[in-house]
Amino acid sequence: MTDWTTHTTRARAWFESLRDRICAEFEAIEREAGSDASFQYTPWNREHEGEAVENGGGGVQGLMKGKVFEKVGVNVSTVQGEFSKDFAGSVNGASADAPGFTATGISLVAHMRNPHVPAVHMNTRFLTTSKAWFGGGGDLNPPIPYEEDTAEFHAEYKAACDKHDAEYYPRFKKWADDYFWIPHRKVHRGVGGIFYDHLECADDAAFEANFAFTRDVGDAFINVFPRLVRKRMGMEYSPEEKLTQLEYRGRYAEFNLVWDRGTLFGLKTGGNIDAILMSLPPEAVWS
């Protein structure tokens, strides 16, 4: 019989180790820029209507504001309990009659000070209801796109996908293109990447295969994004280019507040509001 508790523990440990590697790399970039900025970590416990949920789990919000990273959040969480009956039906494998769940994952959003450096989003997660599955991905969000940066980002994720299934990259790239679309603006949030969900684990073998893929997705992020930051972070920029960034951030905020399923999941499961909304930029404009 599959031991989902053990598998959740293993996934959680890896997500936390990925967090530590990413934060160390981002702090190293700050040092290269002459900044002593570091992540500040705030633990939190799951709540419902303002009250702590017994054995509900929680997480740690990591936040840094520096010379290169104007605002970057790297959050990890492991929560469990029951969905509300009206929300349970929208979650894979859950229902009003079987609302129980566990979820563990890492979520990252970085908003950069220099408009030539792309903003970025990445997350990976493992959930169990009556089913068990992995989801995640990463997408690049440049206010000022560079074709070579987009190609480099996609190439890294394609290589990660191709190690596991030749169909993954075209399938998950299209999923990202479809998902990160702002219907009311009729524009994409960025230049895409990959997005996958409900990569189901029917048994131990499926768990191992999907966990290996998810680890490669996390490794792809840490392989490629710091390279792009170092390439662009020293570029000069004009007031007009900064305004372009601030206007773009308004579009980013609109997507996350109106359309993002992860935001809704966090709010519906008693997550930490500051951690959930860390994806919002520190400053934005609507012209």
Single-letter code of the amino acid located at 127: L
Q: Which helix (H) or strand (E) holds 148?
A: helix 147-162
Q: Alpha-carbon distance 14 to 18, whole Å?
A: 6
Q: What is the mean pLDDT of residues 266-285?
A: 84
Q: Would you name the residues annotated as active-site residues?
A: 121
**Which residues in the chain belong to E strands, given as ranges?**
40-45, 47-48, 51-52, 57-64, 69-82, 100-112, 119-128, 132-141, 181-182, 187-188, 192-200
Q: What is the mean pLDDT of residues 141-162?
A: 98
Q: Taking the domains of the chain in order of start, what are their residue ranges?
A: 4-279
Q: Report, as an integer, the average pLDDT of 102-130.
A: 96
Report how far apart the first and last C-alpha atoms of the chain are (Å, whole number).
Answer: 57
* 192 phi and psi angles, rounded to 5 deg: 85, -165
CATH fold of 4-279 reads: oxygen-dependent coproporphyrinogen oxidase (3.40.1500)
Above 60 in pLDDT, residue 49?
no
Residue 126: pLDDT band (50, 70, 90) is very high
pLDDT of 227 over the 70 cut: yes
Which residue in this structure is represented by tokens 């905020």? 253
The CA distance from 287 to 280, in Å, is 18
pLDDT at position 101, please?
Answer: 85
pTM reported for the whole predicted model: 0.92
